[in-house]
Structure 1
Amino acid sequence: MESTNRSNRQLSRALCYSNADMRQARSPSVVVIGAGMAGLAAARVLHDASFKVVLLESRDRIGGRVNTDYSFGFPIDLGASWLHGVCNENPLSPVIGRLGLPLYRTCGDNYVLFDHDLESYALFDMDGKKVPPELVTKVAEVFETILAEMNKVREEFSEDKSMLHAISIVFERRPELRLEGLAYMVLQWYLCRVEGWFAGDADTISVKSWDKEVLLPGGHAIMVWGYLPVINTLAKGLNIRLGCRVTKIDRCLNEVKVTVEDGTTFVSDAAIVTVPLGVLKAKAIKFDPRLPDWKEAAIDNLGVGIENKIVLHFDRVFWPNVEFLGVVAETSYGCSYFLNLHKATGHPVLVYMPAGQLAKEIEKMSDEAAANFAIMQLKKILPGASAPINYLVSHWGTDANSLGSYSYDTVGNSHDLYEKLRIPVDNLFFAGEATSMSYTGSVHGAFSTGLMAAEDCRMRVLERYGEEDLFQPVMGEESPVSAPLLISRM
């Protein structure tokens, strides 16, 4: 057994070469850390550019925070499931279009706060009474006015504030915007959806930076077959090592040495780090020499939130034919959100999606207790709801491989921290949704930063080889492709 392990380690080291060996062989190499969307995109580009690439992944699967589960007999995305921006401008459009993957559009515009059109809402109060649709629309208009006033507040104060604090100032200045009774509870539900968008609580979200994300046109759409076909396409033919948790990265002028948990080392010209922000915050990887102060400050000060999914599979549909169900309450914490996947996929599935502090508290529960909690919320609006035949529960906050769902701007910190996190350090490059200033917290943001890191890495390494004039097109530029397919609403 000992002899076999020694041979395996020698084989691993042989996959990436020292700088001197590569100069002789004319074969540049790179280690990519993390097989999520960013890591796969980077590895794909560099592999296609004739680099020797090894992709290290701590999990026993690829995809990272994209996780398409098939245990129900059909695909369910436990992580990312939406494409935000159904248009050719979306960086993922070439891949999705080439694969012909169907999408189900849930929103016809590009508004950050609503990933569903208002006519698809079905909100209920705690007694199970349906909120009149005209009230839902009216409160939405009031909420938009509140947000516009909130943006005026941020222009008046040099010091950053939380969204919740800024909204309280708006109410002091314009008391007519205060709502009461059922309308107030609907307003809290809209605030709950804002918190779901950022995976954080309103008292932690920066009013200075909350709307800095670039919104692509075309609205939002669910990946009907899940994101796994995209992941598998990017991964085809790559040298991927699963179960390889990176613990240390040593860098010098001409090479990088990456050490994994069992002591195996990989030496290459450069490395691309795509692990989630939560993992970087936990200092699960030791950098030698340590990262610059400005890089560590970006890691420490960017926010990482939690949004989880409790997927309930039923034997039949017993709920209204709308895209989601909501429970309004006196606080955003008490509100609930259920995505109706039957509209998009034809399967009798509801997905409960808690975010922020509520998600953190639910993660402390067992899967059974979490599922029961979701069913309890459902029975508040549908007392006759049947028990699910199966359920799935995500744990993005406590999963050691993620330690959070996605990044957001916290109070008192500049939006340019995303760019600081992306900037290379010597021959060490960074990618992932938390390095995207434009598409923060999104799958296409992670993908686009993977492409950027690969190109930066390729140019830096080839310059060292004296071949900086070589050009390899990034993926998606080789030929025009059609826009992603759409499924009409059922």
Structure 2
Amino acid sequence: MDLLRYQGIERQKEPAVPSVIVIGGGISGLAAARALNDASFKVILLESRQRLGGRIHTDYTFGCPVDMGASWLHGVCNENPLAPLICSLGLKLYRTSGDNSVLYDHDLESYTLFDMDGRKVPQEMVVAVGDVFKRILKETEKVRDGHSKDMSVHQAISIVLERHPELRQEGLAYEVMQWYICRMEAWFAADADMISLKCWDQEHVLLGGHGLMVKGYDPIIKELAKDIDVRLNHRVTKISQEYNKVVVDIEDGMSLVADAALVTVPLGVLKGNLIQFEPKLPEWKVAAISEIGVGNENKIALLFDRVFWPNVELLGIVAPTSYSCGYFLNLHKATGNPVLVYMAAGRFADDLEKFSDEYAANFVMLQLKKMFPDASDPVQYLVSHWGTDRDSLGCYSYDPVGMAGDLYQKLKAPFGNLFFGGEAVSEEHSGSVHGAYASGIMAARNCESHLLQRLGNFKRRLH
């Protein structure tokens, strides 16, 4: 017999510690797990890959850090949610642009452009065409204001050039214009005929310009993962809500039960219906998943035994179409390592994934050797496959033509005991690392508030 009850004293039952399963080990899931763990919740983080980071992937194959996924901090300022963590870890950034860079990761002065035959484009032409492109984009605002129905940025540019034939470019200048469009497409990881005119310039870009993480993003991933119960190689196949609990089924047949779950898998995975939900997600949630766009951008990193290229941040290739344009990021200038990273976005990124890694590396080397006939062959190379990787199925989200304005809120909204994070739910900072990080923190707070209200307060651990 319970002695306290026998003596007439009612035992105070301590509320159980709330439990949460975080699905997805990218920076959003790690931020959420970190916040819930610090709030004394019982947290398990499930990651389908054999590594953490998700679409952040710092590769050390070359003997130095190379980010094959996210590379930049967009908004080098104290207002950036990642600023305290970056400062506490003493991580260095290499700034590649000033405050006025909305569409590009680099300032104009850091470019050297070449044509398809390897001839250098005069810098005066690069500057002049860049100014014309800015005027064209400014004129697209008038096109947007004059049309109630949304259209693509590509269509709007065509209308502007019909209205203002003096802005048309010919010959080499036309190819430089295509390169600027290529760089714009890289910002969204989608082609210009897919990007919404209504939304393309509505993103809130933090001040401070853009900065490369010199040591890569891996130190941040490692810091966030400290003391978290991480389960790698745990691919989630089904999430069920039963009797105020969440049951998460793993591919190997195991199941885990918790009071709530926080879903931070990439939008491409949700679009691919790789996770079954029971009950099924409501139509408004399914519509958000379906209608928000997911772009693709891939990298081909090349390690050399010597530096044979100029000391600029970006080497560009101009061409008759934006699809055929390209550019190399010079990591040697930023990190001191003899590495060039070729970047491809949109349909071109999709097409590159159809070929072998060897073919992709040879393809970009052909372009490099036209620019620099004395170029040496790479010692090693790395190729990303974000579009076909079943754990991502794309790179990051963008606003396609005709997208409704409330879809981000619907994607972010909880459904029962399920909460959602990730870069795609960050309405003002989608596609960015800090947006993904902040969305994880916010989802964790919403989950915490929900569970405390439902389960009552509990005794928190002392830290």
* Same-fold call, TM cutoff 0.5: yes
Distance 1:420 1:471, change over 3 A: farther
Q: CA deviation at 1:24?
A: 6.0
Work out the CA distance in 2 between the residues paired with 1:436 and 1:152.
28
Work out the CA distance in 2 between the residues paired with 1:404 and 1:460.
31
Partner of 1:420: 410
For 2:174, the aligned partner's letter is: Y
Partner of 2:97: 107
Q: CA deviation at 1:467?
A: 2.9
Q: CA deviation at 1:126?
A: 1.5
Distance 1:262 1:25, change over 3 A: farther
Query: What SS class does the counterpart of residue 96 from structure 2 fall into?
Result: strand
Check if 1:212 corresponds to 2:216: no
1:386 to 376, 380, 396: 376
For 1:268, the aligned partner's letter is: A
Partner of 1:486: none
Q: CA deviation at 1:253?
A: 5.3
Q: CA deviation at 1:251?
A: 1.0
The 5-angstrom pairing of residues 346-365 of structure 1 reads 346-365=336-355
Q: CA deviation at 1:374?
A: 1.1
Moved more, 396-405 or 408-417: 408-417
2:150/2:196 contact within 8 Å kept:
yes
Distance 1:160 1:314, change over 3 A: same
Work out the CA distance in 2 between the residues paired with 1:162 and 1:429.
32
Partner of 2:281: 291
For 1:428, the aligned partner's letter is: L
Work out the CA distance in 1 between the residues paired with 2:190 and 2:365.
23
After TM superposition, the score normalised by the length of structure 2 is 0.95
For 1:303, the aligned partner's letter is: G
Partner of 2:9: none
Partner of 2:266: 276
CA shift digits 1:423-451 (9 cap, x unpaired)? 11111000000001010101001000000
For 2:410, the aligned partner's letter is: K
2:116/2:367 contact within 8 Å kept:
no
Partner of 1:441: 431
Query: What SS class does the counterpart of residue 301 from structure 2 fall into?
Result: strand
Which ranges of structure 1 fall in alignment gaps of 5 or more residues?
A: 1-22, 473-477, 479-490
For 2:161, the aligned partner's letter is: F
1:212/1:415 contact within 8 Å kept:
no
For 2:280, the aligned partner's letter is: R
Partner of 1:189: 179
Q: CA deviation at 1:130?
A: 1.2
Check if 1:31 corresponds to 2:27: no
Work out the CA distance in 2 between the residues paired with 1:178 and 1:311.
35
The 5-angstrom pairing of residues 193-204 of structure 1 reads 193-204=183-194
Which portions of structure 1, spanning 4 or more consecutive aligned residues, are displaced by more than 3 angstroms? none
Q: CA deviation at 1:471?
A: 10
2:262/2:418 contact within 8 Å kept:
yes
- Say what the alpha-carbon RMSD is for the aligned residues: 1.5
1:50 to 40, 48, 55: 40
2:191/2:347 contact within 8 Å kept:
yes
Q: CA deviation at 1:25?
A: 5.2
CA shift digits 1:199-219 (9 cap, x unpaired)? 101111111111221100000
2:15/2:456 contact within 8 Å kept:
no
1:279/1:402 contact within 8 Å kept:
yes
Work out the CA distance in 2 between the residues paired with 1:152 and 1:425.
40
2:30/2:224 contact within 8 Å kept:
yes
Work out the CA distance in 2 between the residues paired with 1:466 and 1:49.
14
Work out the CA distance in 2 between the residues paired with 1:375 and 1:125.
15
1:304 to 287, 290, 294: 294
2:109 to 109, 115, 119: 119
Moved more, 250-259 or 281-290: 250-259
Partner of 1:82: 72
For 2:166, the aligned partner's letter is: E
Query: What SS class does the counterpart of residue 20 from structure 2 fall into?
Result: strand
Work out the CA distance in 2 between the residues paired with 1:271 and 1:278.
19
1:338 to 313, 328, 332: 328
1:253/1:426 contact within 8 Å kept:
no
1:161/1:411 contact within 8 Å kept:
yes
Work out the CA distance in 1 between the residues paired with 2:196 and 2:317.
26
Matched residue pairs, number?
450
CA shift digits 1:373-405 (9 cap, x unpaired)? 111121232222110000000000010000001
Check if 1:318 corresponds to 2:308: yes
State the percentage of identical aligned residues.
64
For 2:448, the aligned partner's letter is: R
2:101/2:107 contact within 8 Å kept:
no
